[in-house]
Structure 1
Amino acid sequence: MTEIWKMTLGQLTAGYASGALSPVDAAKAAFERIDKVNPAINAIFAPMPERALEAAVASEKRWRDGAALGPLDGVPMTIKDSVAMKGTPYVRGCAANLGNPLSTSDSPPVARIQEAGGVILAKTTMPDFGMFAAGVSSAHGTTRNPFNLAYNTGGSSSGGAASLAAGIGALTIGTDMAGSVRMPAAMCGLAGMKPTQGRVPHLPPSAVRSAGPLARNVKDMATFLTVLSGEDLRDFGSIPPEQRRYEDADPAQLKGMEIGLCLDAGFGCETEPEIREAILRVAREVEAAGAVIVPVDRLIEFDPSEALNKLFFLRSRLEYNAMPAEKRSLMLPYALQACEAAGEISAIDYASALEELEKAKAQMYRHFGRLQYMLTPASPVHGFPADDVGADTKSALRHTNFMSLVNQTGQPGAVVNCGMTAQNLPIGVQVIGRRFDDWGVVQLLAALETMLGATPDIAEPN
């Protein structure tokens, strides 16, 4: 029998229903796994064993009484530092926030998880304010990739991805503003999704940041997405749920489907040969299944990096301004420098950046007049050192070039594993769809997972 900490969501709930497994045993096994692997990967922040075991006991009774709340009831999982949960720390990766008051309310994702009976084990690490797609933090230290401890997890949902890939819990939730769910999911061999903007409500409301699910397979990810989706009046941008369950989406039938293939974002880091070849292999498999692959030269025709950086760093500057001046030096040096530089951005600079991004969004979305979906690398690089803020240490978001515009346009984007590098690091392929077609993106992702058979085993960090 598979060890309980290795089990998928479906295996766990089938065991609960039959009486062969207990949510209490699953929670205890998850904490044992934390004790075993977290010293190596440093992914867990604020474990909550008493609360988790209390939730597991309640779930066990519901399953025994035939009154389970649904497919997440009793399933152990983690949540990102920046996803507020009443009575827990809300540090957002920054040492200056250590010791701040605990959260006084639950964010929409936490409320949905608890309503569904999910067992929240702990919060997970992230970089300062989520400012970069890497696993380094002034509050938490360095989170390491469980497949190769010398390498980065990607970010900013770094701890969630690393812990899940190492067998801690069956699910985790992250947030994504420029690839922060998809990048660590890809770098840690997981399925992860940034849904259509508003599909999963989150706080504070944002036009570009979305909460999203990560799992070790597409079906579990889709099940989690169903639970998380739907309107919440606290998030004015949230949209009604689809009247169907994402886990019921069959793998897409690819025959005749026109799918774009883009290997050059037009800006940011250049796609490495090993990554390019891996994505080309995916395209050949998709084409062999009957799809029509349409080459896309580049996502857009100019470099919007400076405009993106201005918006991201100005957002973080607000948090910098709100903290006591004497605590600012506690920030990670890159984050501190970026926030200080953001103080020099004028209103005209900000307006110009917004205008430039409107042009970038228009160029990005024009591809989807003809195409329903597009395949791209998740990351253009195979990885980068664990202690670095990005593949380019002077411009920390350059390796998010295939992801960041998906947040700007509000489209759904999702990743699944498609191979391993020479350094034993996962390679992810990204699927981008039209706005509101989350169902179709899940279908195509499921088809790729089945076709490629590349889902890695749970990592044993050493």
Structure 2
Amino acid sequence: MSITAAPDLSQRSALELAALYRSRETSPVEATQAILAHIEAHEPVVNAFALLDAESALAAARASEQRWLEGRPLSPIDGVPAAIKDLLLAKGWPTLRGSRAVNPDQPWDEDSPATARLREQGAVLLGKTTTAEFGWKALADSPLTGITRNPWNRLHTPGGSSGGSAAAAALGFGPLQVATDGGGSTRLPAAHSGAFGFKPSFGRVPGYPAAHTGTLFHITALTRTVRDAALLLNATAQPDLRDFHALPPSGRDWLDGIDDGIKGLRIAFSPDLGYATVDPEVAALVARAVQSFAELGAVVDLANPGIAADPLPIHRTLANAGVARLFETWPVERRLLAEPGLQAVAERGRSITGADFVAAVQAREALARQLWAFHTRWDLLLTPTTTTAAPLAEGHVGDAAQSAQISPFAYPFNLSQQPAASVPIGFTRAGLPVGLQIVGPRHREDLVLRAARAFEQRHPFAFTDTVR
């Protein structure tokens, strides 16, 4: 299928598109055509989509266009193109989770809560973005969909596991990308792809069915702008009785106060969390970015939250046990279809005893209490998002140890369930993006969004409209 339309519309934010619809300067059909044309031009190289449904998207865009013409849009995101990571259900589309072990012959007749909320509010759903198999690693490849590539350098990974969502956001393959994060799977690819990645507090966005990684798993946003992430949070942070852990509705508009700035906020900066080793070039870019927060009026000081030791063993125990349980739900012949690295994780998970698991839960609770107490003294915490820029897409083992080395700043805040974001802060000499992590107290998404927005206004994010 060949589609031609105004290509600049593919580079517009969700809020900009809604304003253009309202003024009738463009329509959801024109915007969707532009984005589909842009995807058609670059998807063969970047491989961001596990499934793309142009026919369904255009039908949804036509229905939205009629609502806008009649002055009755369903919501601020009516007619805005969006995509869903292939770990989340979307009615009518298979959710194969990057795996040959998932049986595609199923009804696929249910939406995840986030998908359902977008559909109810009139968003134009483009398709499913690629993921590492069951989201298990920090690279963006899987046995099912192959390698997803970094828009800034096709020889490098966009990061994982939400590599398709990150590459799509960075390129303009739809302004709203719904992703997930169980140990850095949104923030890491945001940093490596030069996008904005936002992980709300656990339970803020309901999830269903329950993930195999349990309460480590957050439903997230990958966008080009901070305000679009807040807009997406407004859409998805809505009640859904299917999620046992969902937070009660906040009753707030997450765009309110987002432009209030950070003057007077107390911000801690930890360059290593006490245990991480960061590439010097990345560390220098992060330190320079941190200075901007002081220039914006915050009180910024070096301060570690006092984590006694790398909490990776806690996270690994909980996550590995979840993978082992996942494998138990499959017949033996299907388990062998998973990639060897994931099979090895399941094998390690099978050796975890009940006592081991309870000890990890207790250690997690102690860590969370410590981090929450830290935020009684500090409004926000800044860290690097990753230790390095994006590695090469090919030639890496892609095991759990490598993922942990790349993202030691991410998983502590899945354990503590705090909101955290990665903002783009510049590029290495090789032209690869680098990110800064902003962490807030639990349930204070507003502080994280305000700080990210203040930085974005001072240092507008750079994007690309082509794969390099």
Q: TM-score, normalised by structure 2?
A: 0.93
- Once the two structures are superposed, residues 183-205 of structure 1 have per-residue CA deviations (whole angstroms, 9 ceiling, x without a partner) of 11221111121111111111134
Residue 364 of structure 2 contacts residue 416 of structure 2 at CA under 8 Å; is this kept in 1?
no
Distance (whole Å) between structure 1 residues aligned to residue 248 and residue 341 of structure 2:
39
From 149, 152, 157, the equivalent of 1:147 is 152
Distance (whole Å) between structure 2 residues aligned to residue 253 and residue 8 of structure 1:
21
Q: Does 1:265 align with 2:265?
A: no
The alignment partner of 2:208 has SS state of coil
Cα 1:254–1:12 shift into 2, 3 Å: closer
Structure 1 unmatched ranges of 5 or more: none
- Once the two structures are superposed, residues 256-312 of structure 1 have per-residue CA deviations (whole angstroms, 9 ceiling, x without a partner) of 321000111234x51111111112112212112322112123651112222211211
In structure 2, what residue type is equivalent to 1:456? Answer: A
Residue 136 of structure 1 contacts residue 389 of structure 1 at CA under 8 Å; is this kept in 2?
no
Match of 2:123 in 1: 118
The alignment partner of 2:438 has SS state of strand
Residue 182 of structure 2 contacts residue 414 of structure 2 at CA under 8 Å; is this kept in 1?
yes
Q: Does 1:456 align with 2:462?
A: yes
Cα 1:204–1:390 shift into 2, 3 Å: farther
Between 15-24 and 442-451, report the one with greater CA deviation: 15-24
Q: Does 1:221 align with 2:226?
A: no
Query: How many angstroms does 1:10 deviate by?
Result: 2.1
Match of 1:337 in 2: 344
Query: How many angstroms does 1:122 deviate by?
Result: 0.8
Distance (whole Å) between structure 1 residues aligned to residue 405 and residue 260 of structure 2:
32
Match of 1:297 in 2: 304
Distance (whole Å) between structure 2 residues aligned to residue 78 and residue 293 of structure 1:
37
Match of 1:246 in 2: 254
The alignment partner of 1:126 has SS state of coil
From 386, 400, 410, the equivalent of 2:407 is 400
Distance (whole Å) between structure 1 residues aligned to residue 398 and residue 331 of structure 2:
31
Q: Does 1:237 align with 2:242?
A: no
Distance (whole Å) between structure 2 residues aligned to residue 153 and residue 98 of structure 1:
27
Query: How many angstroms does 1:389 deviate by?
Result: 6.3
Residue 195 of structure 1 contacts residue 411 of structure 1 at CA under 8 Å; is this kept in 2?
yes
Cα 1:96–1:388 shift into 2, 3 Å: farther
Match of 1:431 in 2: 438
Match of 2:374 in 1: 367
Between 161-170 and 349-358, report the one with greater CA deviation: 349-358
Distance (whole Å) between structure 2 residues aligned to residue 130 and residue 2 of structure 1:
32
Match of 2:74 in 1: 69
Residue 7 of structure 2 contacts residue 34 of structure 2 at CA under 8 Å; is this kept in 1?
no
Between 117-126 and 188-197, report the one with greater CA deviation: 188-197
In structure 1, what residue type is equivalent to 2:244? Answer: F
Residue 230 of structure 1 contacts residue 238 of structure 1 at CA under 8 Å; is this kept in 2?
no
Match of 1:324 in 2: 331
- Once the two structures are superposed, residues 16-35 of structure 1 have per-residue CA deviations (whole angstroms, 9 ceiling, x without a partner) of 12222121122222222222
Match of 2:180 in 1: 175
The alignment partner of 2:138 has SS state of coil
Match of 1:208 in 2: 216
Between 107-116 and 418-427, report the one with greater CA deviation: 418-427
Distance (whole Å) between structure 2 residues aligned to residue 163 and residue 299 of structure 1:
37
Query: How many angstroms does 1:149 deviate by?
Result: 1.1
Distance (whole Å) between structure 1 residues aligned to residue 435 and residue 446 of structure 2:
20
Distance (whole Å) between structure 1 residues aligned to residue 209 and residue 414 of structure 2:
16
Residue 416 of structure 1 contacts residue 445 of structure 1 at CA under 8 Å; is this kept in 2?
yes
Distance (whole Å) between structure 1 residues aligned to residue 125 and residue 263 of structure 2:
41
- Once the two structures are superposed, residues 134-191 of structure 1 have per-residue CA deviations (whole angstroms, 9 ceiling, x without a partner) of 2021111111111111111112111111122122111100011111121112211111
Match of 2:27 in 1: 22
Residue 132 of structure 2 contacts residue 161 of structure 2 at CA under 8 Å; is this kept in 1?
yes
Match of 1:60 in 2: 65
Q: Does 1:415 align with 2:422?
A: yes
In structure 1, what residue type is equivalent to 2:16? Answer: Q
Q: TM-score, normalised by structure 1?
A: 0.95
Match of 2:170 in 1: 165
Cα 1:174–1:367 shift into 2, 3 Å: same
Distance (whole Å) between structure 2 residues aligned to residue 266 and residue 134 of structure 1:
25
Query: How many angstroms does 1:325 deviate by?
Result: 1.2
From 90, 99, 102, the equivalent of 1:94 is 99
RMSD: 1.9
Cα 1:193–1:244 shift into 2, 3 Å: same
Residue 252 of structure 1 contacts residue 446 of structure 1 at CA under 8 Å; is this kept in 2?
no
Distance (whole Å) between structure 2 residues aligned to residue 203 and residue 388 of structure 1:
35
Distance (whole Å) between structure 2 residues aligned to residue 21 and residue 446 of structure 1:
27
Query: How many angstroms does 1:56 deviate by?
Result: 0.7
Cα 1:197–1:127 shift into 2, 3 Å: same
From 302, 313, 317, the equivalent of 2:320 is 313
Percent identity reads 33
In structure 1, what residue type is equivalent to 2:329? Answer: A
In structure 2, what residue type is equivalent to 1:423? Answer: A
Match of 2:3 in 1: none
The alignment partner of 1:246 has SS state of coil
